[in-house]
């Protein structure tokens, strides 16, 4: 299986090369040359398999240059019971006869980014070895909170890699900061940047584009890389859990083989929902994809009208991981919808960077609307969904999952569709404890309480156990206390790597 670029079909690389490179040199994203087909018989067989076996089944169809042993090692290192607290890795929760939550947040940082960031480091080191590079990989991350921690956990103690995370000193929540500054691992470093997220991000970009510095690193056997969400190595592991969800529904006799299901995904960068779409292309019986957004509803408008327009106010919401105006993985979807037309995709993307908007053709719009539905909700509706679901069933959702549930309820009211539906649940409610508690109680109930008091309150209210990775933070001593000026970030990297 070779990979092409969404902006240049003539580019053709192996999966190891695509993963190592991340982004194609002309700015396009790597996509598989075709989608391997899976039969219903094969899907039926998945019902009896473990998550590891299901992962091998799906991943081996895309990473065809990886040996069986290498791929199995990647899977076994990433998805352990120790890290996920359950052999199911991505367990399903049945809300009622129509609705199931696919819980993607049992990993070490309590959010769905772990599903990809736990395995990406192993894909990367394997890809380096396969392409005969023996440099050590240096991962640089600028984070507004969640991705940094998930990347730290993914890369910690992975041989052949080191990771440095920069976060804005005053731009992350107290618990996010604690999660990062107490990070363990023999190959990690964390530093605060005196500034906001943009300062941290532009500092990292500057290091990536500094050719003199790159030479210096090269000379010392280091290769800079990023862990961002457009890497094929982050997308492909997400296809697995849609097959796994379907297999679980089969195993528990909620559906029969061949039955179509709907999928609802709380969407930001369009990676998670694109993975579900790819699963359907391979043959997984999915009827509708319901794309759920918060008040940053660029995608809702796009799917309804065919016009992508990022020229709008940015909203800070209680589902911050979806506060996004440019959904970078949409590019892969457009490539597919346009019949793999690299010229058309390049045109959209340059129009987006020049004018902040583009409009797709009627053909593309019609093809998209056949499979995709979209809607959005505001913070009030998100809170109402958390409360209503709790009152109905005792199940407590986080704010991102609640956006999906709210949009799903609107969808069924509008369409009367009674198809069994899987809602992607993307974070533990403990991670967004304050908003969840305000939804379940009220503002007064949380006033003046610190993070750890809130975690305890939520334990009592939900009857769920707070993930140890969050409650343990209380007793951890910070390891990283460096605060650097944004001009000093390169020096911080040099100090960590001991190069000069
Ligand atoms: C990243 C994230 C999302 C959005 O996923 P995309 O793949 O970017 O669409 C939703 N919920 C949570 C909790 C996330 O961390």
Instruction: Verify whether ligand 1 is closer than 6 Å to residue 144 (CB atom).
Output: no
Measured from the Cα of 146, ligand 1's closest atom is: 15
Measured from the Cα of 147, ligand 1's closest atom is: 15
Q: What is the mean pLDDT of residues 376-404?
A: 97
pLDDT at 288 over 90: yes
pLDDT band at 461 (very low <50, low <70, confident <90, very high): very high
pLDDT of residue 81: 96
Distances (CA, A) of 27 to 52, 269, 274, 399, 403: 33, 17, 19, 33, 32
Q: What is the mean pLDDT of residues 385-397?
A: 97
**Ligand 1 midpoint to CA 428 (Å):** 12
Length of the chain: 500
pLDDT band at 176 (very low <50, low <70, confident <90, very high): confident
Instruction: Verify whether ligand 1 is closer than 6 Å to residue 106 (CB atom).
Output: no
Q: What is the mean pLDDT of residues 354-378?
A: 97
pLDDT at 229 over 90: no
pLDDT of residue 146: 81
pLDDT of residue 139: 93
Instruction: Verify whether ligand 1 is closer than 6 Å to residue 30 (CB atom).
Output: no
Q: Identify the residue whose C-alpha is closest to ligand 1 atom 1.
A: 321
Nearest CA-CA partner of 158 in 141, 174, 139:
139
Instruction: Verify whether ligand 1 is closer than 6 Å to residue 299 (CB atom).
Output: no
Q: What is the mean pLDDT of residues 90-98?
A: 97
Instruction: Verify whether ligand 1 is closer than 6 Å to residue 333 (CB atom).
Output: no
**Ligand 1 midpoint to CA 409 (Å):** 20
Measured from the Cα of 427, ligand 1's closest atom is: 13
pLDDT band at 84 (very low <50, low <70, confident <90, very high): very high
Of 113, 149, 288, 405, catalytic: 113
Ligand 1: which of 230, 403, 426 to mutate, most ligand atoms within 8 Å of CB? 426
Measured from the Cα of 238, ligand 1's closest atom is: 7
pLDDT at 411 over 90: yes
Instruction: Verify whether ligand 1 is closer than 6 Å to residue 148 (CB atom).
Output: no
Nearest CA-CA partner of 143 in 191, 106, 107:
191
The answer to whether residues 499 and 203 touch, using CB atoms and an 8 Å cutoff, is no
Q: What is the mean pLDDT of residues 205-222?
A: 91
Instruction: Verify whether ligand 1 is closer than 6 Å to residue 115 (CB atom).
Output: no
**Ligand 1 midpoint to CA 269 (Å):** 7
Instruction: Verify whether ligand 1 is closer than 6 Å to residue 149 (CB atom).
Output: no
**Ligand 1 midpoint to CA 211 (Å):** 33
Give percent of the chain above pLDDT 70.
100
| Predicted confidence (pLDDT) per residue in 30-73, tens digit | 999 999 999 999 999 999 999 999 999 999 999 999 999 999 99
Q: What is the mean pLDDT of residues 135-155?
A: 90
Measured from the Cα of 113, ligand 1's closest atom is: 15
pLDDT at 418 over 90: yes
pLDDT of residue 205: 86
Nearest CA-CA partner of 497 in 130, 227, 214:
214
If one compares 50 and 205, the residue with the highest pLDDT of the two is: 50
Q: Identify the residue whose C-alpha is closest to ligand 1 atom 4.
A: 268
**Ligand 1 midpoint to CA 368 (Å):** 21
**Ligand 1 midpoint to CA 324 (Å):** 10
Instruction: Verify whether ligand 1 is closer than 6 Å to residue 179 (CB atom).
Output: no
| Sign of CA pseudo-dihedral 325, 326, 331, 334 | positive
pLDDT of residue 182: 95
Site of tokens 């736990």: 118
| Predicted confidence (pLDDT) per residue in 326-345, tens digit | 888 999 999 999 999 999 99
pLDDT of residue 183: 95
pLDDT at 265 over 90: yes
Active site residue 113: yes
**pLDDT mean across residues, the chain:** 95
pLDDT band at 199 (very low <50, low <70, confident <90, very high): confident
Start-end of H helices in 108-196: 113-117, 120-130, 146-155, 174-181
pLDDT band at 324 (very low <50, low <70, confident <90, very high): confident
**Ligand 1 midpoint to CA 68 (Å):** 30
pLDDT band at 227 (very low <50, low <70, confident <90, very high): confident
- Would you tell me how many other CB atoms lie within 10 Å of the CB of residue 67? 12
Instruction: Verify whether ligand 1 is closer than 6 Å to residue 321 (CB atom).
Output: yes
pLDDT band at 132 (very low <50, low <70, confident <90, very high): confident
pLDDT at 198 over 90: no
| Predicted confidence (pLDDT) per residue in 254-263, tens digit | 999 999 999 9
């Amino acid at each position: 299986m070779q990979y092409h670029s969404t902006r240049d079909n003539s580019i053709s690389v192996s999966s190891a090369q695509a993963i190592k490179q991340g982004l194609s040199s002309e700015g396009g994203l790597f996509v598989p040359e075709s989608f391997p087909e899976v039969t219903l018989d094969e899907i039926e067989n998945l019902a009896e398999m473990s998550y590891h076996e299901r992962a091998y089944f799906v991943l081996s169809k895309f990473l065809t240059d990886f040996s069986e042993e290498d791929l199995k090692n990647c899977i076994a290192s990433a998805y352990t019971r120790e890290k996920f607290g359950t052999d199911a890795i991505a367990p399903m929760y049945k809300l009622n006869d129509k609705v199931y939550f696919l819980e993607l947040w049992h990993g070490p940082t309590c959010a769905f980014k772990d599903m990809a960031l736990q395995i990406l480091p192993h894909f990367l080191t394997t890809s380096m070895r396969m392409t005969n590079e023996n440099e050590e990989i240096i991962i640089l991350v600028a984070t507004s909170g969640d991705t940094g921690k998930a990347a730290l956990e993914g890369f910690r103690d992975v041989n052949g890699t080191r990771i440095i995370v920069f976060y804005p000193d005053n731009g992350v929540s107290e618990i996010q900061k604690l999660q990062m500054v107490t990070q363990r691992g023999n190959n990690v470093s964390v530093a605060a940047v005196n500034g906001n997220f943009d300062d941290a991000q532009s500092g990292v970009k500057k290091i990536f584009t500094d050719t003199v510095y790159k030479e210096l690193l090269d000379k010392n056997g280091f290769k800079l890389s990023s862990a961002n969400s457009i890497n094929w190595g982050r997308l492909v592991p997400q296809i697995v859990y849609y097959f796994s969800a379907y297999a679980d529904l089969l195993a528990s006799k909620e559906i029969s083989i061949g039955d179509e299901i709907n999928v609802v995904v709380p969407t930001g960068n369009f990676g998670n929902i694109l993975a579900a779409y790819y699963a359907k292309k391979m043959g997984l019986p999915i009827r509708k994809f319901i794309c759920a957004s918060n008040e940053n509803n660029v995608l809702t408008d796009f799917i309804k009208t065919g016009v992508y327009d990022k020229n709008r106010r940015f909203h800070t919401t209680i589902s911050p991981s979806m506060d996004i105006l440019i959904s970078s993985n949409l590019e892969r979807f457009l490539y597919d919808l346009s019949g793999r037309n690299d010229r058309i995709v390049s045109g959209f993307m340059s129009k987006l960077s020049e004018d902040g908007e583009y409009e797709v053709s009627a053909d593309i719009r019609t093809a998209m609307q056949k499979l995709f539905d979209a809607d959005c909700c505001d913070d009030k509706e998100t809170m109402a969904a958390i409360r209503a679901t709790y009152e109905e069933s005792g199940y407590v959702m986080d704010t991102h999952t609640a956006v999906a549930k709210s949009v799903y309820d609107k969808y069924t009211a509008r369409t009367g569709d009674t198809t069994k539906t899987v809602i992607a649940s993307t974070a533990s409610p403990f991670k967004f404890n304050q908003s969840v508690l305000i939804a379940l109680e009220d503002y007064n109930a949380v006033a003046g309480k610190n993070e750890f008091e809130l975690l305890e309150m939520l334990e009592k209210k939900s009857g769920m156990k707070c993930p140890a990775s969050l409650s343990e933070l209380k007793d951890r001593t910070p390891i990283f206390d460096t605060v650097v000026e944004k001009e000093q970030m390169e020096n911080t990297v040099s100090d960590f790597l001991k190069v000069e």
